[in-house]
Amino acid sequence: MHTSKARITAIGSYVPKRTLTNYDLEKLVETNNEWVLQRTGINERRIAHQYEYTSDISYQAVRNLMERYNKSIDDVDMIIVCTMTPDFKTPSVASLLQAKLGIKNAGAMDVNTACSGFTYGLHVANGLITSGLHKKILVIGADTMSKITNFEDRSTCILFGDGGGAVLVEYDEQQPSFLAAHVGSEGEKAKSLYCSNLAYRMFDEDLTNSGKLVQNGREVYKWAVTTVPKGIQKLMENAPIPFSGVDWFVPHSANLRMIESICEKTNFPIEKTLYSLVEYGNTSAATIPLSLDKGVLEGKIKNGNKLLLYGFGGGLAHSGALIDWNIG
């Protein structure tokens, strides 16, 4: 891996006010609190109100970052929003966010790799800064999954929630954050997790075209618990520290059983694993930044810690990053 010249300097997050608990779900579909907890580890999730969209959540997450770290964003020169639930097909969420924040001299683009979005966004930001093309980038992972969730499908509606997290990535040759990375995709398995748009067929097979998320949970689960441990192994082969030197593992918060299985297969202690799904459910591209910020606010993540982030999901794409945490 090329020596990075980029450092994560600040973090912020936001979740909508409305809470949807497992007990609330009992009134919507045939399920119960014990069943949901046992299978997913999720207790509740946050739901955006009718007129609250991904751009609004992204804006609030950046505001939170600015207030906590007293950061100016006037000189941000690129905005990357990682999302699969944009307000519009065009303009991008990033362009809407640029307008809402009043940033004058920034490029703006969305990255859609679903649940691995945030780690992909960091990968792109690191590349842009390390190459010398950019100096200061906002990377946001935000999704309003409730807007594409079928609340009559008990296998998916118990999983998803809404939220967002933002980080600022700045040029810093002395204390770079990015130590190693790994990215991959198995598009041939994409039919296991999709949300239809223009096409009604994928690889010559008809799709359910409801405009809502369709997931084969069993297939995605099998894919994740084999792919992520292999990806971690690949990532650590290029890392400057051994796997035992990782302080915190921050995987995509899809499902607690999945995370437990990944920890078991990699021999990584679950006690040193951070996740946001208990309170927020699966928020797609937002789960990792929400887990990170939760870890920061609870005093678990400290400067100097080595963090292994790993996103995986729709695509079926995956991506990991080994981070030297040093914000402020």
The residues that are catalytic are 115, 252, 282
Identify the CA nearest to 64 among candidates 132, 152, 140, 123: 140
Identity at 185, one-letter amino acid code: S
Looking at the chain, list the stretches that DSSP marks H as alpha helix, in order from N- to C-terminal side.
Answer: 22-26, 33-40, 54-69, 93-101, 117-130, 154-157, 217-237, 256-266, 277-280, 287-297
**What is the separation of C-alpha 1 from the centre of its chain, rounded to a whole number of angstroms?**
23
**Helix, strand, coil share (%) of the chain residues, nearest 5:** 40, 25, 35
End-to-end CA distance of the chain: 25
Identify the CA nearest to 250 among candidates 3, 1, 8: 8
Tell me how far apart the alpha carbons of residues 91 and 101 are, in angstroms, rounded to a whole number: 15
